[in-house]
A = this chain, B = another copy of it.
Amino acid sequence: MLETDINTVDLIIEARWIIPGAPRGILLEHAALAIAQGRIVAILPIIEARQRFHALETVSLPTHALIPGLVNLHTHAAMVLMRGLADDVPLMAWLNERIWPAESHVVSDRFVHDGTLLACAEMLRGGVTCFNDMYFFPQAAAEAIDRIGMRACLGLAVLEFPSPYAVDADDYLNKGLAVRDELRDHERITTCLAPHAPYTVSDRTFGRLMTYADQLGLSLHLHLHETLDEIAQSEAQYGLRPLQRLVGLGLMGPNLLATHCVHLTPGEIETLAAQHCHVAHCPSSNLKLGSGIAPVASLLAVGVNVGLGTDGAASNNRLDMFSEMRMAALLAKSAGDASCLSAAQALEMATLNGARALGLEDRIGSIEPGKIADLVAVDFSATEMMPCFDPISHLVYVAGREHVSHTWVAGELRCEHGVHVGVEQMELKEIARLWQGRLKQFHR
């Protein structure tokens, strides 16, 4: 782990605690991180770091835990502009009667740029350094992400029906692939193919997507088994549950990320494990839309890689991974086992498991030498964080996103005490005001 002579690095972060995230449950006290060219060079005791490294900048975090940047494994970032537009409404009515009509009226590249910028600002403030997005106009999302300096995987949305973005599945796919070509050398933005859901995508389109996924080495990201309605509809239309249909189409595999998976038979859980699929668990959104509680303990027990997502702010209504960690850990215990889904495991789901699902586990998701320095400092000095017997447990059960003090992406400070680098609060507020005005007619 250590270099021999004195080396110059860009940044040393000295922290009360470092929680590297891997191996699970490890806690380092009075530890330092050396960072050069955006990557982690060494993790070592503070005293040794001072002897072995000369740093251009040193950040001291005497009451903080330094953790890996959080990975929001499923969201629709731009929908933050519809936060609270339709609350206490079930999924299908929420989509058909509220969200889709509003989207058809307002969605544009400007909407997506503005919404994504506001969402990124919220996520960075709350310790999220990377998110997996699924929405329209991905080029506009990429511009916003670039400006604020976040990491993201952009899901290139594909569905059969028209929107302000595209007229049919081929149009979605062609536009998406063009964006993928533009972004292929981007350092912080990757892309994946995002067929919306089995109920909005035909067999023919799934077939085309599989071909592109294979040829271009792209993963697939979709909504799956979110509601009982969706399953009943598929059984009526195809004589198959959606997951069975995907099996038949040959879609299951290690490059498939299935979001929600609320309603699963034991056999389907086995299939997800055997096929090495990844699952994005969105506990708050699943509750809020009345979808139910995903069988996360069972998925984890058979080795499925499960990460955490906020879903869009229109169904959460926060883009807050601290809330999701806490909710996931608490909700998994609802079946009666208080030892199920420990705090350390919830943190792993929100970091390394998310990175793994995005194919980024060799670059992010834990604090290890050689990995990119996507980092978050959480301040434990507030009285509501005291006393503290176990900082990992406190991260999940006590801390909120308001305790995040610093967020770095690739070793660059992107947010400090709620203030972003390169984006003014005034601009964000102006964006929110503008779109609130345009959307309020859809609130009732």
Contact = CB atoms under 8 A, between A and B. Distances in A.
Contacts of A88: 338-339, 342-343, 393
Contacts of A429: 381, 383, 386
Interface in A82-101: 83-85, 87-91, 94
B330 A384 contact: no
Nearest to A403: B402
A387 interface: yes
A383 B83 contact: no
A105 interface: no
B284 A330 contact: yes
B288 A397 contact: yes
Contacts of A81: 387
Nearest to A287: B330
B339 A90 contact: yes
What's the interface size class on A, roughly? 35 or more
Given A290-B340, A316-B397, A389-B443, A383 B84 contact: no
Contacts of A293: 334
Contacts of A125: 384
A83 B387 contact: yes
A303 interface: no
A395 to B, nearest CB: 10
A185 interface: no
Contact of A398 (B84, B384, B432): B84
Nearest to A384: B122
A388 B287 contact: no
A333 B390 contact: no
Nearest to A402: B402
Given A84-B397, A87-B397, A383 B338 contact: no
Interface string A407-444: 00000000000000000010011001101100110010
Given A87-B397, A390-B87, A122 B383 contact: yes
B398 A400 contact: no
A289 interface: yes
A343 B436 contact: no
A317 B398 contact: yes
Given A331-B287, A388-B436, A121 B383 contact: yes
A69 to B, nearest CB: 18
Interface in A126-185: 126
Residue from A318, A383, A443 having most chain B Cβ neighbours under 10 A: A383
B228 A397 contact: no
A394 interface: yes
Interface of A: 81, 83-85, 87-91, 94, 118, 121-122, 125-126, 228, 284, 287-293, 316-320, 327, 330-331, 333-340, 342-343, 381, 383-384, 386-390, 393-394, 397-398, 400-402, 425, 428-429, 432-433, 435-436, 439-440, 443
| Top 6 A-B pairs, shortest CB-CB distance | A290-B338, A386-B432, A387-B436, A402-B402, A287-B330, A90-B338
14 contacts: A83-B388, A87-B397, A90-B339, A91-B338, A126-B384, A289-B338, A290-B338, A316-B397, A327-B327, A383-B429, A386-B428, A386-B432, A389-B440, A400-B400
